[in-house]
Amino acid sequence: MSALDSAIEEVLHPAAQAPAVRGAAINLLGLDPAALAELVAQWGGKPFRARQLSQWVHQRGVDHFADMSDLAKEFRAQLESRCVVQAPPLNIEKRSADGTRKWLFDMGMGNAIETVYIPEDDRGTLCISSQAGCAVGCPFCSTGYQGFSRNLNTAEIVGQLWYANRALRLDPEGARLNGAAVESPQAVSNVVMMGMGEPLLNYDQLLGALRLMVNDHAYGLSRRRVTVSTSGVVPMIDRLARDCPVALAVSLHAPTDDLRDELVPLNRKYPLAELLAACNRYLEVAPRDFITFEYIMLDGVNDGDEQVRGLVEVARQVRCKFNLIPFNPFPQSGLKRSPPARVRLFAQQLSDAGLTVTVRKTRGDDIDAACGQLAGEVKDRTRINERKPDRARIVIRNKEHG
């Protein structure tokens, strides 16, 4: 079984959870609202106590129970003896000239993940990681190139948001460009699950994190401002629709199965027709009335007129918007970014055909925070040679296109 097949098997049929270790501290960042309410109830606390505690932890970013002044003394003592509020340990923080900030967190055993904050006039977007590494193995992605190391748990996913809000509150310089007012009192007004990893292959832990993000007593983000980006794990798109529908972005990258099989290996398991049908089912409950299709622009690979025609056909089947992403090269990929003129023309052709299309601005280039550069220090755990044929085929196609 390949690493990707076992990752899919694991998310579809998760092994029974190991029982919680008796005596180990409970990290409150990892409890979704229902689990926190249950814990407080077990201790004889009223539901409003759980809400108060949640506000202290998630909204005010307080990690010392002694500072939670309106909680009863005995309750604080109980928390002190049994619980912690603990984000992953920080390795490095980097700041870009354009205001982008990147935090590298230590995940143990030589693994690291990255979180990136992107300030704009009217919002502050946090790009969060869901796994150390990724099993999908897209040949244009440095995370995929490194292979899969491990899933993050809910506390580690939410911990990135908790940490960022706190860091930006303590040192708000440039937290928003031009300091424009926004509806959220927190620095982070939008979350995109577009960091390292395939969020839908870490479903249960992701779900706990999403539930905290949209909970009024935790981060209170509107469902429209939380986006899950997926390479297309069809059964889990359906589960997300049922459990916690937030905005959905799908990494399309190719309009036909033959090309998508090469660029997004998960397509061999869940081909385009199934993916597009899942997108339509999702739209029935989605907080936005379109799916965002991400489309990386690779020179001579997927940026031709043929693909324009293919995408027009895709857009006939699903209500969608396209986001074209200039490829951020990394040495091992053997791939090149489409020239800016080609990207502009591609966008124009789609737009002329009546499609809604934006081109992603590249941010944080000077600190390697742009998409796909989230290399961290994840060790290469995969047999890279297994994937070499993919790369070779893509290069040949590249040559055919001249």
The span of 26-34, 133-141, 357-365, 377-385 binding ligand SF4 (CB under 6 A) equals 133-141
Judged by CB, which is closer to ligand SAH: 65, or 293? 293
Q: How far apart are CA 323 and CA 93, in angstroms?
A: 28
CB-based contacts of 1: which residues, under 8 Å, 6+ apart?
A: 9
Q: How far apart are CA 68 and CA 54, in angstroms?
A: 11
The span of 160-168, 226-234, 339-347, 381-389 binding ligand SAH (CB under 6 A) equals 226-234
Q: Given candidates 231, 292, 307, 382, which one binds ligand SAH under the rule CB under 6 A?
A: 231
Q: Single out the catalytic residue among 262, 371, 377, 386.
A: 371
CB-based contacts of 366: which residues, under 8 Å, 6+ apart?
A: 96, 97, 98
197 binds ligand SF4 (CB under 6 A): yes
Judged by CB, which is closer to ligand SAH: 189, or 302? 302
293 binds ligand SAH (CB under 6 A): no
> Which residue spans within 264-365 are E strands per DSSP?
291-297, 320-326, 356-359
Distances (CA, A) of 257 to 91, 141, 162, 237, 261: 40, 19, 39, 19, 6
Instruction: Give the residue closest to ligand SAH by C-beta.
Output: 372
Q: Given candidates 255, 364, 372, 376, which one binds ligand SAH under the rule CB under 6 A?
A: 372
Judged by CB, which is closer to ligand SAH: 140, or 148? 140
Judged by CB, which is closer to ligand SAH: 68, or 249? 249
Distances (CA, A) of 58 to 140, 158, 160, 193, 218: 35, 9, 11, 18, 5
146 binds ligand SF4 (CB under 6 A): no
- Cβ-in-10-Å burial (0-12, 13-18, 19+) of 54 comes to buried
Scanning residues 225 to 254, which ones bind ligand SF4 (CB under 6 A)?
231, 251
137 binds ligand SF4 (CB under 6 A): yes
Q: Given candidates 119, 144, 147, 376, which one binds ligand SF4 under the rule CB under 6 A?
A: 144
CB-based contacts of 157: which residues, under 8 Å, 6+ apart?
A: 128, 129, 130, 205, 206, 208, 209
Residues in contact with ligand SAH, counted by CB under 6 A, come to a total of: 15
Neighbour-count burial for 340-361, b at 16+ CB within 10 Å, e otherwise: eeebeebbebbeeeebebebbe
Q: Single out the catalytic residue among 38, 80, 114, 294.
A: 114
Both tokens of 249, joined, read 């972005």
328 binds ligand SAH (CB under 6 A): yes
325 binds ligand SAH (CB under 6 A): yes
Taking the complex as a whole, the smallest distance from the CB of residue 65 to ligand SF4 amounts, in Å, to 37
Residues in contact with ligand SF4, counted by CB under 6 A, come to a total of: 11
Judged by CB, which is closer to ligand SAH: 186, or 230? 230
Judged by CB, which is closer to ligand SAH: 45, or 197? 197
137 binds, among ligand SAH, ligand SF4, none (CB under 5 to 8 A by kind): ligand SF4
Is 83 designated active site?
no
The span of 104-112, 130-138, 165-173, 333-341 binding ligand SF4 (CB under 6 A) equals 130-138
Q: Are 236 and 9 in contact (CB under 8 A)?
A: no
Residue 145 three-state SS: helix
143 binds ligand SF4 (CB under 6 A): yes
Within a 13 Å sphere around the CA of 348, how many CA atoms are in the beta-carbon half?
A: 6
194 binds ligand SAH (CB under 6 A): yes
**Pairing between β-strand 101-108 and β-strand 90-95 as defined by DSSP bridges:** antiparallel
**Pairing between β-strand 190-193 and β-strand 148-151 as defined by DSSP bridges:** unpaired
327 binds ligand SAH (CB under 6 A): yes
Closest alpha carbon to 230 in 247, 214, 243: 247
Within a 13 Å sphere around the CA of 77, how many CA atoms are in the beta-carbon half?
A: 3
Is 371 designated active site?
yes
Taking the complex as a whole, the smallest distance from the CB of residue 317 to ligand SF4 amounts, in Å, to 22
Angle CA(29)–CA(31)–CA(35) in degrees, nearest 5? 160
Q: Which residues bind ligand SF4 (CB under 6 A)?
A: 134, 136-138, 141, 143-144, 197-198, 231, 251
- Catalytic residue positions? 114, 371
Q: Which residues bind ligand SAH (CB under 6 A)?
A: 140-141, 194, 198, 229-231, 251, 294, 296, 325, 327-328, 371-372
